Each structure stands twice: as C-alpha cells, then as structure tokens.
Structure 1
Amino acid sequence: MKPKIKLDKIDRRILEILQANAKITNAQLANEIGLSPAPTLERVKKLEVSGIIKSYHATLNNEKVGLGVSTFVMVSLKGHNKTNIEAFTQAINEIDEVIECHHITGSGDFILKIIAQDIAAYQKLMLEKVTNIEVVDNMQSLVILSTFKDSKVMPIP
C-alpha cells in the first residue's frame, strides 16, 4: 500500500467539490476554493497524478438505459487458492454486466454486482456465463428491490 498523501484543507475542499460536480470548470472551482485558476489547476493535477482522483465518470440512470434488474451475487469458489482466484477474476472481467467484483471474507469468496435488462436476461447471463466459470462452486443471488442510498461521494478524513 502506498503511503498516504498529506491533504490540506484546500485539497479536501477540491475533492468534495469535484465529487459533487466533476464537470465544474477550473475557473468555477478556483472561485469556490478561493485561489486563482493556475494554482487550482496545479492542485487538481497533483491529486490526479498521485492517484487520489482515479477518474471521472457520468452516472447513468439504469432504468432509462434499459437495465431494470440489479443483483448482488455471493460466489464461493471450488478452492480458495491463487490459481482459482485468478481464473475467476479473469473470467468475470470479460462479463460486461458484472459492474463490481469484490473479494470478501465470510461465507463467500466474492460478491458481484450485476445489472441486466430484465429477469430473463439475468437468468440467461447466469446460465450461459457466470455458472460456466469452471472454478465456481456455488452462488447465491440477491435481487435488489429498491435502493435508498447509492452515494458515490467518499467522506474525506
């Protein structure tokens, strides 16, 4: 793990503002943090180069783009070893509908977040792709009925 980068009050404010609105112009950002545009841009570049800011994304409305079913799937592997973990993660990275994959502790080895058009598309995905991954032992699906919080904003310590 890389050593933590020291963030001052201005860096923290930049991160808060960019998380709320990544499309803000440098001039607007500079105005909000009380610096001129050049040092503001330098600070943002420093946060990007250091890896604190990993990327910028548009958040889409799943339903409006035709993805009406979201699930979490707990996956257990046939054996919890490096070879199986690498085989599983390589296979999962080839499935676009798997939008998150987390290595976890507890009763399963991984938890996946999967999106699909509808239940039929989800079932087809599971039968034709996920269950065909050789190292998968068993799975438990949890269909998301509704979401009450889905924040992408990280609290800055």
Structure 2
Amino acid sequence: MNSSLKLDKIDRKILDILQSNAKITNAQLSKEIGLSPAPTLERVKKLENSGIIKSYHAKLDTDKIGMGVSTFVYVTLKGHNKQNIDIFMDEINKIDEVIECHHVTGSGDFVLKIIAKDISSYQKLMLEKVSDISVVDNLQSMVILSTFKDSKVMPIPE
C-alpha cells in the first residue's frame, strides 16, 4: 500500500464495497457511504490514481466457459539467476492458460496457476509449452480437485 496515502473510514468502506461489487453506480455507492455523488467520485478517482485500485474485472465461471481443469505447478529453474528468470518470464507471459505466476521461496522457484479445457489439453500444454522452456529444470503439478474459497477481496487494515 502507498504509505503516503492515508485511508480513512470512508476510503476503507469504498474499497470494501467496490471489491464486492465493482459494477455499483456512483449514485448507489454515495448512498452506501453517506456522501453526495461528487465527493464520492472524487474519492474513487483518488484511490484509482494512487494505484490502490489497480483495475476492475469480471470473474468468470471456469466450468461454464469450458476450462474444467485447474492446477498449481511448482517450477524449478536450471539456475536461479536474473537471466534465467527473465527467459522464464518472457515465455510464461506468452501462455494464456497460465493465469498466475508467483516467484516464491522454498523448494521451487515459481508457482503457476494454470487452467485448461481438460486433462489432455493440460498435458499437451505442459509437454509442448511449459516444459519446453529452456531454463525449466523440474515441474511438479497438483490438480485442484475442488475450491472451497476463492476470494479476491482484500482485508483493509485500519
């Protein structure tokens, strides 16, 4: 969080509401926080311009769009140096099915979240794209059987 921007109670309430319903109108948001529309819009713009609000997204149902397999994949590189990380990131950014990529500590170097249509599509993706990246040494896949919590709502500290 940007330490130069102090969040008051109203800012935190705006962030809570927008995380739950980014499609809310400014008029409805202003009613819920108890301000008139103009200062409400000004506060939202301040939160956007400061980078606290990074973007707005539609959350899709992966099953309904035909992406029925989700996995986490631990990736270990052949060497943990800037050049290998840059090569890996350049290649990973070209693969649309990789929806998250995290640089981590521990036994692996990265954790990927990958979605695919089905197991055979996932296998093809892993064989032809991910494992084909020249700096990849080892991959360990975990298929997600079910998800009990998938919240994108961030707690806002006081």
Range class of TM-score, shorter chain: over 0.9
Q: Does 1:68 align with 2:68?
A: yes
For residue 98 of structure 2, what is the aligned residue in structure 1? 98
Report the equivalent of 1:114: 114
* Runs of 4+ more than 4 Å apart: none
TM-score normalised by the chain length of structure 1: 0.98
Q: Is the 8 A contact 2:88 2:136 kept in 1?
A: yes
Instruction: Deviation per CA, 1:10-29: give whole Å up to 9, x if none.
Output: 00000000000000000000
Cα offset, 1:4, TM superposition: 4.8
Residue type of the partner of 1:114? I
Matched, 1:43 2:43: yes
**Which residue of the partner structure matches residue 88 of structure 1?**
88
Letter in 2 for 1:126: M
Query: Counterpart in 1 of 2:28?
Result: 28
- Asked whether the 8 Å contact 2:2–2:50 carries over to 1, the reply is no
Q: Deviations over 1:80-103 (max 9, x none)?
A: 000000110110000000000000
Cα RMSD (Å) of the superposition? 1.0
Letter of the aligned partner of 1:78 in structure 2? K
* CA–CA separation in structure 2 for the residues paired with 1:6 and 1:135: 43
TM (norm. structure 2) is 0.98
Gaps of 5+ in 1: none
Residue pair 2:22, 2:56 contacting (<8 A) in 1 also: yes
Match of 2:77 in 1: 77
Which one-letter code corresponds to 2:155 in the other structure? P
